[in-house]
Amino acid sequence: MRSKNPEEVLQTYWGYPSFREPQKQIIDHVLGGDDAMVLLPTGGGKSLCYQVPAMCKEGICVVISPLVALINDQVNQLKEKGIKALAITGGISPIELSDRLDNAIFGNYKFLYLSPERLQQELVLERLRQMPVNLIAVDEAHCISQWGNDFRPAYRECGILREILPEAPLIALTATATSRVTEDIKKNLDIEHSKTFSTDFRRPNLRYWIRECEDKYHECAKIFSKLKGSGIVYIRSRRKSVEFARELNARGIDATFFHGGLTAAEKKDKLAAWMQGEVRVMVATNAFGMGIDKADVQCVLHADLPDSIENYFQEAGRAGRDNSEAWAIMLYNKGDLETLENQFVRTIPDTAFITLLYKKLCNYLQIAYGGGSGEQFELNFNEFCNTYKLNHMLTYNGLQLLDRNSVLRLSEQFHKTKRVQFTVSNHKLFSYMDRNPSSEALIQLILRTYGGIFDIMTPVNTDLLAKRTGMEEKRISHWLEKFKADGIIELEVYNSDTSITFLCPREDQHTINSIARDIEVQRKNKIDRVQKIKELLVTDTCLTSFISDYFGQGKTEPCGKCSVCHPGKGQSKRPTFAMLRNAILNCLQQGPRSSRDITTVTEFEEVAILDALELLLKEEVIKLNQRNEYYRS
């Protein structure tokens, strides 16, 4: 079979007539058999840089990626294009693991996606040696570096791929990496002499805007009433995402919400409504966005402060992917600075807390010492925290840290877990199946899948049972209800919002001691990143230049259109009191006005107007009437 032309592959499978810069240079470089380090911002088309060359050659591309949701999204997208791809993540049996690896060897697949933890399994490494691998792709490569955002120690195992697959070129890809992180990635992957491809971190069509304000609902509604395209509003909590969407709708802005606690069906419906333009604005936690590609987003607005420049840049970069003018807006007030400290500095777990959390979690889930490895458990997060009187934010950050350090895998998604125990003897159960022959296949499958189900209440995965029987999941649930009504099982339905898979046996102190150094390094890095966000809020440097310099590309010429250097804004960060005084008094010549009316008319920032109004009241230049409106004395 001849090697395919990259443009031909691009047109056939992705429908694009040509590549963006520097995609073609990267693809040609990799097709020439050379390693590559690729830094492309969000929306820059990183995945095509390994998917296209892999499709041009015989063999299979091995892709390492840290996020199960992102892996599943990419595999589904490839399958929709008629490209054979499979994933090996967590939650599968040893038999299923072996079957999938055999499929990768003999099934003419083009892509095999692996979580980094899988590289610690000898079975996986043994089968990889047998595969006709044409390319190794390490996605989200910043996770390799302890200096990177979202460091995951398991990513250090990626270097072993060079040893077992020495003939395959390796491409490392990331959207955000400082120069220090880039060097660390290349060293860990043994590609120190490889070429680095990157684009200018400036987005000429994207206007960065930071505004201090008190009433974010009003300000956000005002922004989206002026802009006509779709948008994303990032918020920090699930509860606030619901409230913010409700407030926008009340102000005439069509909005919905998205967070990790929604069911899979709810997420799918909300995403589809937003993608198809049925809803303009998606108010979301950072559970939203990874793998989402909507070209016409005109505004990404952060109503809560992000915890790092990396996350801010990546989330803001989801605006303007069609190269039309777009906005990346951040709203904050003095209270947000305190919240930033409370949420991201005071709730960064240290080793002592992680040790406590791990022990409490194992006790809560009744995991015996030496047990738990490979087992999946459902958890109601709030109930767990309340049981042990644990700080919710500190606990959540602790679970994420245990996830990043490969102690467990954390998945946030609301669903109803069913626990089942058979309460009749084998003889009575066989008699029941004789009387109800249509139930036999399901009962036998449950008995084969779940050992000990006669002895204890056992969590049952209805989705897995549905796949193996070919029934719809609601049909499985209906049968379980019938079995309960007929008196052959006990059935409990348990609401959970967190799924936890333990990746190693319970060893308490030893487990945490092995990652203690990494915990402290990550803690320091997190604090440093929060400090950089604070600097961004008050900088007098062009925001585009500030971000470019942060990622090691040096300070650039002022962009001329961000909130720092926008023409007409003046030299200072805020207008002088004299300017505000004149503007307010001129506005009040027309009659009494509220502070919001004055802000709208004068177009100065709300915080500046409120401070000036307070001073003018003290000087008795203006007064307040009973309708809380200001008027001239």
**What SS3 string covers 454-514?**
CCCCEEECHHHHHHHHCCCHHHHHHHHHHHHHCCCEEEEEEEEEEEEEECCCCCCHHHHHC
The segment with the largest mean pLDDT, out of 5-9, 493-497, 520-524, 558-562, is 5-9
pLDDT at 91: 64
Average pLDDT over every residue of 176-199: 88
Angstrom distance (rounded) from CA 584 to CA 599 = 9
Amino acid type, 204 = P
The two domains 206-341 and 577-632 share their CATH topology (first three levels equal): no
Which residues, 6+ apart, have CB-to-CB distance to 251 below 8 Å?
217, 218, 221
Average pLDDT over every residue of 191-204: 86
Instruction: Answer yes or no: is pLDDT of 617 > 90.
Output: no
Average pLDDT over every residue of 322-348: 85
| Max Cα-Cα span within the chain | 94
Residue 535 structure tokens: 């600097």
pLDDT at 374: 82
Q: Where are the domains of the chain?
A: 6-198, 206-341, 351-516, 577-632
Average pLDDT over every residue of 208-218: 90
Average pLDDT over every residue of 502-528: 85
- The chain-wide mean pLDDT, for the chain, equals 87
pLDDT at 529: 86
CATH of the structural domain 206-341, one choice from 3.40.50.150, 3.40.50.1360, 3.30.70.920, 3.40.50.300? 3.40.50.300
User: pLDDT band at 571, cuts 50/70/90?
Assistant: very low
Each residue's pLDDT tens digit, 291-305: 677 888 999 999 999
The helix/strand/coil state of 141 is helix
Q: Note the CATH architecture for domain 6-198.
A: 3-Layer(aba) Sandwich (3.40)
Each residue's pLDDT tens digit, 53-104: 999 999 999 999 987 777 888 898 899 999 999 998 766 778 888 999 999 9
User: pLDDT band at 1, cuts 50/70/90?
Assistant: very low
pLDDT at 494: 66
Instruction: Answer yes or no: is pLDDT of 476 > 60.
Output: yes
In 3D space, the residue among 461, 551, 619 whose CA is nearest the CA of residue 178 turns out to be 551
Instruction: Answer yes or no: is pLDDT of 149 > 70.
Output: no
Burial label, 568 (beta-carbon count in 10 A; 0-12, 13-18, 19+):
exposed
In 3D space, the residue among 541, 532, 565, 553 whose CA is nearest the CA of residue 207 turns out to be 565
Q: Give me the residue label for tokens 């929709």.
A: 80
Least confident of 244-258, 504-518, 561-575, 605-619: 561-575
Each residue's pLDDT tens digit, 592-608: 888 888 887 877 777 77
Q: State what percent of residues in the chain have pLDDT above 70.
A: 95
Average pLDDT over every residue of 259-274: 85
Instruction: Answer yes or no: is pLDDT of 281 > 90.
Output: yes
Each residue's pLDDT tens digit, 355-412: 999 999 999 998 988 988 888 888 888 889 999 999 988 898 899 889 888 888 887 6
Each residue's pLDDT tens digit, 124-133: 999 999 999 9
The answer to whether residues 403 and 395 touch, using CB atoms and an 8 Å cutoff, is no
Average pLDDT over every residue of 124-152: 88
Instruction: Answer yes or no: is pLDDT of 574 > 60.
Output: no
Angstrom distance (rounded) from CA 234 to CA 299 = 11
User: pLDDT band at 172, cuts 50/70/90?
Assistant: very high
Each residue's pLDDT tens digit, 434-469: 999 999 999 999 998 887 788 888 888 887 788 888
For 258-275, the DSSP string reads: E-TTS-HHHHHHHHHHHH
* CATH no., domain 577-632: 1.10.10
pLDDT at 405: 84
User: pLDDT band at 590, cuts 50/70/90?
Assistant: confident
pLDDT at 153: 78
pLDDT at 412: 64
In 3D space, the residue among 378, 389, 373, 42 whose CA is nearest the CA of residue 232 turns out to be 42
